[in-house]
Each structure stands twice: as structure tokens, then as C-alpha cells.
Amino acid sequence: MFKLTSLNLNGIRSATTKGVEAWIAATQPDCICVQEIKAQAPDLAGRFEELASLKGHFHLAEKKGYSGVGVYTRHEPSDVVLGFDGGEFDAEGRYVELRFDTPQRKFSIISSYFPSGSSGEERQQAKFRFLALMHPHLMALKQQRDFVLCGDINIAHQQADLKNWKGNQKNSGFLPEERAWMTQLLADGLVDVYRRLQPDTTDACYTWWSNRGQAYAKNVGWRLDYHLATPAIAETARTEAIYKGEKFSDHAPITVEYELAL
């Protein structure tokens, strides 16, 4: 089995002070995709290049203390791809793809951090631009190779994916246009792996909670973190787990076990 975890760290330095490295060592994923590293290369050097004996590969933002994604893995990739659009969003450090290619199969693991539009209209428009670029990118990639994209997508797809869906229909993360984007992505052949394994869960599916008003204690959450896979990879998914035993950030890690070998 291949154990793959995704977690928005909300700052790698913060998450490590809260015990995430010990948790990784205890759970022993083959690979963990992380988002919102919020660090520059000098900050990672000598301390965060590895976590729990997993080697990290990163795409960092130009802006200090902002965004940044990585994949920590115990397997050596055949290639590492940093960025996907060659411009606006590559400067924000939002996409790293590790390729594990053999003569028999082309396979990638991607860590991606989709923009949030919650800070205002300017960032919401950036989010829409990101989505407009990401869809054709993933469709083209799907023609070339199998992959699983792990990440903070910042979209709750269906009513079951957040507690207060009625009150959030005009809020970023649950806008009709964002949900329609996700619906189209799945219609065009990608698979929401969690929903393949757990089609009916509601309260148990959340991966993010606001820091306001006891949202975590009351489980007023959103499902924002996904494994999105090509059908051949999704078919091998066997188990899923959202870990809430400890709080490393405002997101919970989501782990899927796949019946595949690198």
C-alpha cells in the first residue's frame, strides 16, 4: 500500500512547534504533500529540507511569509516540475509536481495550494484566473500521465462539504462559479477520491475550521482539502482518514492509502 497525506501547514515553523513532525514519524506516510509553507529557501535550509526522514521538494513564493508548497517523500522522483502557468501564480509558489516514471507507467504526485478569495474582490478575481488556467493544465496532463493532486483547493464542492451552506452561498469557497468549476473538473474525468470512498459523510468530512467563534470545538467546518486523481489511480484507493487527534494548523491532514507501488 502507498500512503499519501495532504496537509495545509499554515506555516511550517508553526506546525512543527505543534508536533507535526512527530506525527509524520509515527504515521509513516510514503509521501506528504504540504501547502502554505510560508517560508523562503534560507528558512528551510538545514532544518526543513527533510521531515521525519522524508526528503522535501518545494515551490516557494517570491513574497516572504506567503504561500509555498512542497512534497516530502521517501521515494526519489525521476523529475520535479515547479509551477504550471509560467507567470502570476508561479510567483506565488502554488504548484510542485513530482514525477515517478518507469518504462511501464508515467505517474505524478502534485501538491497545490489554490488561492483564497476571502480577503476581497481582488483576490477572488485572482482565484478565478487561477481556476481558468488550472483546468486546461490538468486536462492536458491527464492525457499524458496518471496523477494525484493533493491540496488545499479552497472550494467546498457540495452542500455536504460545509456546515453552514445556506449562509455561505455568497462567500468565497462556496460561490456557484467555484462549485461549477469543480463539477466540470469531475465531469471531465478527474475523481474526488475522498468522495469515492465516502460518498455520504457530512460532519466527518471537514478539513478546515475558522479560528473564530469556537468553530473547531463545535465542528463548524469546511471540506477544502482534496485528493484529485485520474481514474486509474482513484480505482486503487482503499482507505481514507482525516486526523483530528491533534491540531497542527487550522487544517486537518487527510490521508489516503492506494494499492500501488512506486
Q: Which residues are catalytic?
A: 152
DSSP result, 18-87: TTHHHHHHHH--SEEEEE-----HHHHTTTTSEETTEEEEEE--SSTTS--EEEEESS--SEEEE-SSSS
* DSSP-derived pairing of the beta strands 69-73 and 79-82: unpaired
Going 73 to 83 to 232 to 78, the CA torsion angle's sign is: negative
- 116, 130 contact by CB (below 8 A): no
DSSP result, 106-157: -EEEEEEEPPP-TT-HHHHHHHHHHHHHHHHHHHHHHHH-EEEEEEE-----
Beta partners for residue 147, in sequence order: 108
| Cα angle 108, 253, 162; round to 5 | 105
Max Cα separation, the chain?
A: 53
**Which amino acid type is present at position 65?**
G
**192/182 Cα distance (integer angstroms):** 9
Residues with Cβ within 8 Å of residue 132, at least 6 apart in sequence: none
